[in-house]
Amino acid sequence: MTNKDRKQTENNDYEYPKPIYYMARFFDLIHPAIMALDELESYILKKRMSKIDIIKPIYINGVARAGTTITLEMLSHHPQLASHRYFNIPLIYVPNLWRQLATRVKVFMDPAERIHKDGIIVYRDSPEALEEIFWMKYFKGAHNEKINHILDETTENREFERFYSRHLKKLIISQNATTYLTKNNYNVTR
């Protein structure tokens, strides 16, 4: 894949391949339909999901540039750990459906330095910190610096809890794993 096939950023760096970038933008516009797909996928996988317990998920967090990405990369090679991957980006809400489609599409196959320009090389199967998308959806204003975002044992969001539990199970199923692995530096306040 050449650079002309990648979506260009304002500072002339390249992020994701153009098809993936535009698919993600499109899916964001039709979010209610994506959530309907999430419900359908959960219904289809209901029996398999009922046999999965989320036990001791692994959460990596720290300050930016502290080595959390390298830690995630190293741990993600363990066959029993399931984590979000770059190829999940367009359809993060339906990991099983998207895995079936993505394995047929030869996009983002060439390794490339990630946008941070920190020497870390990524490709479509590299783990990536994507779950913040969910926190932002279910906790409005999650990045508003004027609001205290510390979530503790008194915080309740049943809709998020239901979604999050189901999603982790679906991700575990999609990768034939047993344990959820994620990196999210914001989790230090959760």
- DSSP assignments along 132-155, one per residue: HHHHHHHSTTTT-TTS-----TT-
Angle between helices 95-102 and 158-174 (to 10 degrees): 30
Indicate if the pLDDT at residue 3 is higher than 70. Answer: no
Cα distance between residue 51 and residue 113, in whole Å: 39
pLDDT digits (tens, 9 = 90+) for 129-142: 899 999 988 998 88
pTM of the model: 0.82
pLDDT digits (tens, 9 = 90+) for 79-126: 999 999 988 888 899 999 988 887 887 766 778 787 777 888 888 889
pLDDT digits (tens, 9 = 90+) for 19-37: 667 777 787 778 889 999 9
Domain ranges of the chain: 3-189
